[in-house]
Structure 1
Amino acid sequence: MRKITAGLFISLDGVIGEPQDWHFPYFNDEMGAAVGSQLATADTLLLGRATYEGFAAAWPERENGDGEDAGMAKTLGDARKIVVSHQDLDLPWRNSELLKGDLIEAVTALKQEPGDTDIAISGSPSIVRQLLAAGVLDELHLLVHPIALRHGLRLFDEGDPIPLRLLSATPFSTGVLHLIYTSDDTTRTGGYTEATQHLPQDR
């Protein structure tokens, strides 16, 4: 079964909206490697409408340029891009298609397709929320920036709790923390009485 990973830039207070306005000062080789490794292991991208339109407006023209991002632009251009939208869209970027049918059913079917590479999500928070809630997302990659933005779109909205299990935590020299989570099926119990057993007992 193919694995689905999602990568997001996020502030310390959970904001993911408009990252181009706040995350670039923290972008260094460590972050570039983290972003590149998540996308490089995927031959399929699952994107929401807004993310797709932003990517399609920026990346194709960079592919044939001589900038340092030309390699990434070609990787994204070559990938199969599946766009999640309730609207009929013009999809000008090559290898793009519109997802058909119910999101969870369609993504579950995608995971069953043959192949050894991942399916990657970049941004697209609405999709990430739905897949997390349905238990379909395999890995959530969060690049937590050491800044409290205090306004903006947040990753998690109101709803039922979604337990997660930490797979890895890597600090960067900029103070960014690269966290990778997966779903946690463990049933956790306990309250204040149990917690006090772990407090220092020396008086």
Structure 2
Amino acid sequence: MGKVVAVSYVTLDGVFEEPAWSGPYFNDELGSWQDANLREADALLLGRKTYEGFKAAWPQMEAATGDFGKRMNSMPKHVATTTLTEPEWNATFLQGEVSEAVARLKAEPGTLLLNGSAELLNHLTRHNLVDEYRIMVYPVVVGEGRKLWHEGTRVALAHTGSWTTKTGVEVITYVPA
């Protein structure tokens, strides 16, 4: 049986979009942690917007990011989209209703790493399909922007661990309660 692990960057006020605010706080600790997340995963699970952003950026970053970039570019990607028609970058598009497609993927062994993709994260949370949430809370308030959690998304969580980087990023892990 597989699992979905969601990894998200958020500000103290819950904003996740355009994480340029994360740059000053990113360090080797977070880099190693992100590397471990990627190595543990068998495939990426992405929403269309994140897929398009990653697909545009990662192939050009492989030389600068070494093994991480190679892994990011070569691993399978499962993408939730109703508008794209030609999968690229080792992607397959989820067929049918998204929650049913992800449930089928979870019936197979392996870990699906869900990066960003707030629309997809909220949808899967509402359908009880996320097995673990790994949230990096950055010590910054931006005052505006899209929030990670949408109105109507509810989930009770159990804290399973946390640690703080030297730059003040709180990395918190939760599972559904």
Residue 85 of structure 2 is aligned to residue 89 of structure 1:
yes
Question: Higher relative contact order by CA 8 Å / sep ≥ 6: 1 or 2?
Answer: 2
Match of 2:99 among 93, 100, 104: 104
TM-score after normalising by structure 2: 0.95
Residue 58 of structure 2 is aligned to residue 59 of structure 1:
yes
Matched residues in 1 for 2:4 and 2:60: separation? 27
After TM superposition, list the pairs within 5 Å mapping 1:71-82 onto structure 2.
71-82=67-78
**Long gaps (5+) in structure 1:** 185-203
RMSD value, Cα: 1.2
* Counterpart for residue 38 of structure 2: 39
Matched residues in 2 for 1:173 and 1:155: separation? 24
After TM superposition, list the pairs within 5 Å mapping 1:1-203 onto structure 2.
1-19=1-19, 21-63=20-62, 65=63, 67=64, 69-93=65-89, 95-113=90-108, 115=109, 117-159=110-152, 161-184=154-177
**Deviations, residues 10-55 of structure 1 (Å, cap 9, x unaligned):** 0000000101x21011100111122111111012111111111111
Number of aligned residue pairs:
177
Matched residues in 2 for 1:175 and 1:183: separation? 25
Letter in 1 for 2:14: G
What is the CA-CA distance between 1:160 and the residue it aligns to?
5.2
Matched residues in 1 for 2:146 and 2:98: separation? 22
**Deviations, residues 35-80 of structure 1 (Å, cap 9, x unaligned):** 11111101211111111111111111333x2x2x021111012211
**Long gaps (5+) in structure 2:** none
What percentage of aligned pairs have identical amino acids? 36
TM-score after normalising by structure 1: 0.83
**Deviations, residues 94-138 of structure 1 (Å, cap 9, x unaligned):** x2111101111111110111x3x3110110011111111111100
SS class of match (1:22)? helix
Matched residues in 2 for 1:142 and 1:90: separation? 31
Matched residues in 2 for 1:60 and 1:158: separation? 35
Matched residues in 2 for 1:91 and 1:27: separation? 31
Letter in 1 for 2:172: L
Letter in 2 for 1:109: R
